């Protein structure tokens, strides 16, 4: 076993060097090389037999697979072998080179549509997108080349609508990361995660705060993005989302955390004429509902907005249509 481990290590080191170039990759294509390397990644019981050489062999296997994946046909083989479903586990390694090599495999494979799907759809028993979660967890490492691989992987996965939503949900309470990965674009998917506004509901403010913790988190992050990006955020909200004001309207109620920031966000968006008109219609329909403030005073929503946000009221009153 000692000799086998040494031999395999030397062989993989040679392959890692030769597969840095196309003419070193092409002889391996269609020969089952990726399948063999994937066996090393997924067959923990067999690899344990290699003893002290195990981690080096896994590290080099990831390196070779990553190199092969740079070739379009090699990428296809890796997708067919579902390498992603085994490579991601090595993001948990204590060895930074192994983590980097795993990130490179994920980055290359998620360029492919089926790779995006594999990364998005792989879940644990509780329906958690564990590959996405692990990638995000490792973004807190300091190595910049590794972080670039991970961010590119998330960007690749986000090109799949379901992937975009799952990533956004996982990042929603991590403003520094959602800002770094998506910037103002994060507004689009955060808005999609919010429930559709129900005009048949006679009192849209009568909702359980505890049951809406995720929605409140999405709104809070939207507000923070607006606070930072202003005009860019407004452009995304008005051109890339559907009825942004409707989605946010419920959360202007004073009982909701960060409602003041939400109103400021809506004020920014109401620089757009259609958004201002939408807000006007909502205030016309629901503005006479009574709300109770912190000081136990009751007043209508319209009265509350007029007393505290005259500038917004003036903008929406000018909207015509």
Q: What is the pTM of this model?
A: 0.89
Average confidence (pLDDT) over 261-289: 96
- Continuous H helices in 69-143: 72-80, 84-87, 96-109, 113-121, 130-138
In the predicted model, is pLDDT for residue 85 greater than 90? yes
- State the chain's mean pLDDT as an integer: 94
Q: Is residue 180 part of a domain?
A: no
Last residue of a domain, one of 171, 200, 226: 171
Average confidence (pLDDT) over 48-59: 85
272 lies in the same domain as 127: no
Provide the pLDDT confidence category of residue 297 given band limits of 50, 70 and 90: confident
Q: Is residue 217 part of a domain?
A: yes
The more confidently predicted of residues 225 and 46 is 225
In the predicted model, is pLDDT for residue 53 greater than 90? no
Provide the pLDDT confidence category of residue 321 given band limits of 50, 70 and 90: low
In the predicted model, is pLDDT for residue 199 greater than 70? yes
pLDDT confidence of residue 2: 63
pLDDT confidence of residue 29: 96
Structural domains counted in the chain = 2
Average confidence (pLDDT) over 57-72: 97
For the record, the structure tokens of 199 come out as: 């005009």
CA-to-CA distance for 281 and 230, rounded, in angstroms? 24
139 to each of 102, 239, 311, how far by Cα in Å? Answer: 14, 30, 41
Region of residue 11 (phi > 0: left; psi between -120 and 50: alpha; otherwise: beta)? alpha
What are the beta bridge partners of residue 290?
300
Is there a contact between 145 and 126 (Cβ–Cβ < 8 Å)?
no
In the predicted model, is pLDDT for residue 1 greater than 70? no
Weakest mean pLDDT among 45-54, 99-108, 162-171, 238-247: 45-54
74 lies in the same domain as 165: yes
Domain of residue 240: give its range: 210-318
Is there a contact between 124 and 130 (Cβ–Cβ < 8 Å)?
yes
Average confidence (pLDDT) over 296-318: 93
231 lies in the same domain as 86: no
pLDDT confidence of residue 207: 86
CATH, residue 122: 1.25.10.10
28 lies in the same domain as 152: yes
In the predicted model, is pLDDT for residue 49 greater than 80? no
């Amino acid at each position: 076993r000692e000799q086998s481990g040494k031999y395999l290590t030397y062989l993989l080191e040679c392959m890692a060097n030769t597969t840095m170039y196309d003419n070193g990759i092409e002889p391996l294509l269609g020969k089952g090389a990726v399948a063999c390397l994937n066996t090393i990644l997924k067959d923990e019981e067999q690899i344990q037999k290699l003893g002290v050489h195990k981690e080096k062999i896994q590290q080099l296997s990831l390196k070779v697979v990553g190199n092969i994946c740079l070739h379009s046909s090699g990428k296809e083989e890796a997708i067919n072998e579902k390498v992603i479903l085994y490579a991601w586990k090595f993001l948990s390694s204590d060895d930074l080179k192994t983590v980097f090599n795993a990130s490179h495999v994920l980055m290359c494979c998620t360029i492919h549509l089926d790779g995006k799907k594999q990364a998005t759809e792989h879940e644990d028993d509780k329906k958690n997108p564990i590959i996405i979660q692990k990638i995000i967890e490792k973004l807190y490492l300091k190595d910049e080349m590794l972080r670039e691989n991970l961010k590119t992987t998330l960007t690749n996965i986000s090109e799949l609508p379901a992937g975009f939503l799952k990533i956004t949900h996982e990042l929603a309470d991590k403003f520094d990361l959602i800002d770094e990965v998506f910037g103002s674009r994060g507004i689009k998917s955060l808005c999609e995660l919010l429930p559709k506004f129900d005009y048949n509901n006679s009192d849209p403010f009568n909702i359980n705060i505890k049951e809406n913790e995720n929605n409140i988190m999405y709104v809070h992050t939207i507000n923070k993005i607006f606070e930072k990006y202003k005009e860019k955020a407004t452009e995304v909200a008005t051109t890339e989302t559907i009825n942004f004001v409707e989605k946010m309207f419920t959360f202007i109620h004073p009982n909701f955390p960060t409602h003041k920031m939400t109103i400021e966000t809506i004020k920014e968006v109401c620089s757009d004429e259609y958004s201002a008109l939408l807000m006007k219609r909502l205030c016309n329909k629901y503005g006479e509902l009574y709300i109770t403030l912190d000081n136990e005073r009751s007043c209508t929503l319209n009265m509350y907005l007029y007393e505290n946000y005259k500038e917004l009221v003036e903008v929406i009153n000018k909207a015509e249509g």
